[in-house]
Amino acid sequence: MILHTPRFTLSAFQAADWPFFLRLRQNSSIMRYMAEVAHESHIRTLFEDRLQDNNAFIIRDEQGNAVGDIGLRQSVHNAQEADIGYAVAPESQGRGIACEALDAVCKYAFHQRGISALNAWVLAENRGSVRVLEKSGFQRVQVLEKAFVLKGKCFDDWVYRREKA
């Protein structure tokens, strides 16, 4: 599956994307809101999963360079719902990439995958991602106080939701 936006192409993960994925998942500025930086073998397992996942995409610019990734995971309890997540390389942030990619994946989920609602979890401190979600039509539906532990510190986790219009 390939999705197109006005400026980007979202395509399936390829083996050649490994160095980019590793660099992204080892970058402390990216991971500070997601999880501890994992050992390379764990990151490799995540990458191998994405190679097989039809709902995981690398975001590429007009020159074909990887600038981020995005994907959705359908709920095992309710096939009409999915969780969505994304990451954009630090040098590419602030250019609207996440908003554009998120819009494309929402349309894909709603119109091609039969999804009726998308959920996203974001740490309250991650103001950039909060802006992306809100600009993309997601609404905060729940605050989970001190629910996420990262490096021994507790953070509020905000739950966002967007339903098919």
Quick check: 99 pLDDT over 90? yes
- Share the mean pLDDT of the chain: 95
What whole-number distance in Å separates Cα of residue 164 and Cα of residue 117? 6
Q: How confident is the model at residue 150 (pLDDT cuts 50, 70, 90)?
A: confident
pLDDT at residue 165, rounded to an integer: 86
What predicted TM-score, i.e. pTM, was given to this entire model?
A: 0.93
pLDDT at residue 151, rounded to an integer: 83
Q: How confident is the model at residue 152 (pLDDT cuts 50, 70, 90)?
A: confident
List CB contacts of 69: < 8 A, sequence separation 6 or more: 13, 21, 24, 50, 56, 57, 58, 59, 86, 87
- Residue 57's SS3 state is strand
pLDDT at residue 119, rounded to an integer: 97
| Tokens 């990451």, residue located | 87
Q: How confident is the model at residue 96 (pLDDT cuts 50, 70, 90)?
A: very high
